[in-house]
Structure 1
Amino acid sequence: MQRAAQQDDRAQRQMRGKRLSRVLLCAAAVPAVLITAACSSGSGDSKGKGTDSSAQQSAGGGTQSSASASPTVQAAAYQKLPDACAVLSKKTLTGLVPKDTSGRKGGSDDPSSRGSCSWSSLDNNGVKGSQFRWLNVSLIRFDSDATRGAGDTQAHTYFAQQVKDAESVPGAKNTKEVPLSGTGAEATAVRYDLKKKEGLFKQQTVVARVENVVVTLDYNGAGLAGEQTPDADDLTKAAENAIKEAVGAVRSANDSSSSTGSGAKTSASPSQSASKSPSKSASSSASPSKSATKKN
């Protein structure tokens, strides 16, 4: 009986040892699982962060590319100016300034962008007095610029300023503004009286814009030494006809030159080359289908 009891005691000890080993083994396995899960979770997060980061970088790169693209403006219509002393015909000059049809050209550091010419006529009638006429034509052209804007927009701003300046001449009396039609894109005549020591001067300033060019024509007349003061309506009509001729000269100078033509061709050439390229590629891509059709 004692041996049986000892055997039972040994058996119980062995069973308790096996149970303890199993508990310890399970306890050791739990941290490994947790560590594995933690590593798996961390690696997943890092992958997610990497994906988000690369997506943000690509999105940021797209924004920078679109922001870095330089703005474009429409090319200016006119690329040159005519000689300011040649914008009016000799016949027109004879009616405006009969004693001076040659004119004096104003100085310019860039004749393609600005120019001017003036005429001064004194018709001396002796004791009966004399008739004085003065004429000035100025031209200014604006190029399109990404910073300043389109040439015609700049020209419009300058046109409005020229009209405003003509309306605010110191000492001017009876100022009147007359919008004109059929003279470029926009045109206005400003007339007023100006008293000087020589006599009463009738002043006409006519401003016209044609595309990106502004033409300003100043014309005044006076009867001196007792001569009759010229009629303001006649002077205004003559000035309006003259500026129409000057606007026509600006158009002709560009139409007859290669500058406007080349400008149009230059702006059109990208679209022409672009239209040609797709058609060639389209025909190339279409050729396999044709050959396939033939084979079938």
Structure 2
Amino acid sequence: MHRNATRTAVRTLACAAVPMLLAAGCSSGSDGGDKARPTPSAPSSSAPPSPAPVKFTTLPDPCKTLPEKTVEDVVPEAEGGGKNLGSKDADGYGTCLWSGLDGYQYRALTVSLKRFDSDLTLGSGAERAAEYAGQQVAAVGEDKENQKVEEAPLDGVGDQATTISFETERKSGKKTEEYREQRVVAVTGNVVVVVDYEGAGLEEDRTPKADDIRKGAERAAKDAVKAVK
């Protein structure tokens, strides 16, 4: 009797333990599934890149960049207030031409302005302006008709400037006229100012001195750069 009672008690304990183990196993599996569930990622708050700000967003009227006194001295007998060569994008590009004939002394002066905006793929406005300025300087030497080309840095005009002197010949009917010319290329912020000044003595009149042409071009360039605001 005692042995049978003992066996019955052991069986009862074993059967009672089975549901507890099963319950524990199910509980453990449920907790593990909750921990493995992925957590949604937070949306990105970073803003897309934007182009660098530029110093100048507009350009002045190119025909109003020079004081009347400068025009009178550099281009004697200049006609009117200069000829605006026009541009569909006045805030991006503009050119004005002054020309005059004093006796047989011919002079012509051109002021060109070009403004650059920043671009994520092309660079900042200032970088693009500097690149364009370099192209305008190089263009003088690349023209095979230009002779005795000499260039030098020009201090005190914009952020950086280069002055280039050269000579060329042009036919007028059966005659060939000698021209003295000067180009000044200046960068101020994101704007490039290009001044071209030339002179000739027509009908065998004296050819203007190279130094006079240089001084006239550099004077005009200083005034034009100051007008960019």
Using the size of structure 1 for normalisation, the TM-score is 0.67
Indicate yes or no: 2:102 matched with 1:123.
yes
Question: Counterparts of 1:23-42 in structure 2 under 5 Å?
Answer: 23=11, 25-26=13-14, 29-30=17-18, 32-42=19-29
2:140 paired residue number: 166
> How high is the sequence identity, in percent, across the aligned residues?
40
Query: Residue 100 of structure 1 contacts residue 121 of structure 1 at CA under 8 Å; is this kept in 2?
Result: yes
The letter of the residue matching 2:85 is: G
CA 1:19–1:214: 2 relative to 1, 3 Å: same
Taking the aligned partners of 1:206 and 1:104, their CA distance within structure 2 comes to 20
Q: Name which one, 1 or 2, has greater alpha-carbon Rg.
A: 1
Taking the aligned partners of 1:148 and 1:188, their CA distance within structure 2 comes to 24
Taking the aligned partners of 2:12 and 2:136, their CA distance within structure 1 comes to 100
Taking the aligned partners of 1:200 and 1:39, their CA distance within structure 2 comes to 104
1:65 paired residue number: 45
Higher relative contact order (CA 8 A, sep 6+): 2
Taking the aligned partners of 2:145 and 2:20, their CA distance within structure 1 comes to 100
Structure 2: gaps of 5 or more residues: none
Indicate yes or no: 2:48 matched with 1:92.
no
Taking the aligned partners of 1:149 and 1:37, their CA distance within structure 2 comes to 66
Taking the aligned partners of 1:38 and 1:154, their CA distance within structure 2 comes to 71
**Secondary structure, counterpart of 2:41 in structure 1:** helix
Deviation at 1:87, TM superposition (A): 1.2
Query: Residue 108 of structure 1 contacts residue 115 of structure 1 at CA under 8 Å; is this kept in 2?
Result: yes
The letter of the residue matching 2:195 is: L
1:267 paired residue number: none
2:84 paired residue number: 105
Question: Counterparts of 1:1-296 in structure 2 under 5 Å?
Answer: 11=1, 15-16=3-4, 19=7, 22-23=10-11, 25-26=13-14, 29-30=17-18, 32-50=19-37, 53-54=38-39, 57-58=41-42, 61=43, 64-66=44-46, 69-102=47-80, 103-124=82-103, 130-145=104-119, 148-197=122-171, 198-251=176-229
CA 1:23–1:139: 2 relative to 1, 3 Å: same
Query: Residue 140 of structure 2 contacts residue 149 of structure 2 at CA under 8 Å; is this kept in 1?
Result: no
Taking the aligned partners of 1:145 and 1:161, their CA distance within structure 2 comes to 19
Structure 1: gaps of 5 or more residues: 1-10, 125-129, 252-296
Number of positions where the alignment pairs a residue of Structure 1 with one of Structure 2? 224
Query: Residue 94 of structure 1 contacts residue 101 of structure 1 at CA under 8 Å; is this kept in 2?
Result: no
Using the size of structure 2 for normalisation, the TM-score is 0.84
Greater helix fraction, Structure 1 or Structure 2: 1
Taking the aligned partners of 1:241 and 1:250, their CA distance within structure 2 comes to 15
Root mean square deviation, CA, Å: 2.5
CA 1:44–1:113: 2 relative to 1, 3 Å: same
- 1:213-249 Cα shifts (integer Å, max 9, x gaps): 2111111122233222222122111101110011112
Greater strand fraction, Structure 1 or Structure 2: 2
Query: Residue 114 of structure 1 contacts residue 141 of structure 1 at CA under 8 Å; is this kept in 2?
Result: yes
CA 1:41–1:194: 2 relative to 1, 3 Å: farther
